[in-house]
Structure 1
Amino acid sequence: MDLSRPLAPNPYDLLPATGSFTLTSPDITDGTPLAASFTAAGGNISPALNWSGFPEETQSFLINCFDPDAPNPAGYWHWSAVDIPVQVTSLEQGAGESDLGLPGAAFHVRSDGGTFGYEGAAPPPGDHPHRYIFAVHALDTESLDLSSEHSPTKVAFTALFHTLARATLVPTYQQP
């Protein structure tokens, strides 16, 4: 593995500016390594997330996790939970296991690894630390009018035109 290759940019830095709000977690912190339970080898458990301070006109949320450092041109989508109702301002640890852990009519789309739910960190062994961008997007619509068969890239593209504000947490992970 070529450890000298540059890190990819944060993809949200390349998109049109949006508002921001607060995203916290008892499980993950910006810039610190993920605990084993949030990795593919350690259980694929999604972290608990809590958000506040989003715009009043918010009508729903999109939650996703993206690894921009995956050794391919497109990065790697680990998690996309779509159509989270506006009255929901947190997800418990493990809520990403399946659609049963999501509130209301919210649903998952398939991760890049084929999982309908959260897929934990799993960078190639020996590669540099990867960043895992957990994002909550405050949207101006109750539904993105998509289905679980859409790709996470289609979800992200569709949400781009409805995003009022975004909050992120960016932990890291490196396999020995």
Structure 2
Amino acid sequence: MNQSAPQNGPSVLADASSPAVFALSSDAAPDGSILEHAQLSPEQGGPSLSPDLRWSGAPKGTRSFAVTCYDPDAPTGSGFWHWIAWDIPADASGLPPGAEREASGMLQAVNDFGRPGYDGPNPPEGPAHRYVFTVHALPVETLGIDPSAPHVQARFAIVTQQLASASITATYRAPA
């Protein structure tokens, strides 16, 4: 059963017997913020560095994590996937800023830009787009998905197996 999670903030205990709430936070991309220059794609003048991510309160049975970044506002009819990473070890409590495209300890799919790893916003002119960063707690050590496979395979395995997920959403609007 999937658990709902707050959008950000520290892990909170309801009482001594209840489990911690699964939560995600970031200094570079706090929930409700505007993404910083460091997270932007080269096409927007940025270095395309993934933001730092920290999570806490993973549910019992978590054996690995996955991280995704999705723009539901992209004018594609199906959004735009900026990052799909998985097989992050269960003892991890986050990712540093600027996660390497070939980072050890996790696998990363080819994103919708056609490159493995994280690539930041490059929306067309117009309204701001939302960038939803999500951490998924998984009951398996590995998804067994080849990173060169279409990312839909990893996303399907992540969503159908997750024990819980927590998200933060930041925005960015391309300058006119």
Q: Match for 2:3 among 18, 27, 30?
A: 18
- Does residue 1:28 correspond to 2:32, yes or no? no
RMSD (CA atoms): 1.3
TM-score between the two structures when normalised by the length of structure 2: 0.84
Whole-angstrom CA distance in 2 between matches of 1:147 and 1:154? 9
The within-5 A match list for 1:94-173 is 94-95=98-99, 97-100=100-103, 102=104, 104=105, 106-125=106-125, 127-173=126-172
Q: Match for 1:71 among 60, 69, 75?
A: 75
Q: Structure 2: which 5+ runs fail to align?
A: 6-21
Whole-angstrom CA distance in 1 between matches of 2:88 and 2:150? 17
Q: Match for 2:95 among 81, 91, 94?
A: 91
Counterpart contact for 1:30–1:171, Cα < 8 Å: yes
Q: Secondary structure at the match of 1:31?
A: coil
Whole-angstrom CA distance in 2 between matches of 1:108 and 1:162? 18
Figure out how many residues of one structure are paired with residues of the other and give that number.
156
Whole-angstrom CA distance in 1 between matches of 2:85 and 2:173? 25
Q: How many angstroms does 1:36 deviate by?
A: 1.1
Q: Percent identity?
A: 38
TM-score between the two structures when normalised by the length of structure 1: 0.84
Q: How many angstroms does 1:156 deviate by?
A: 1.2
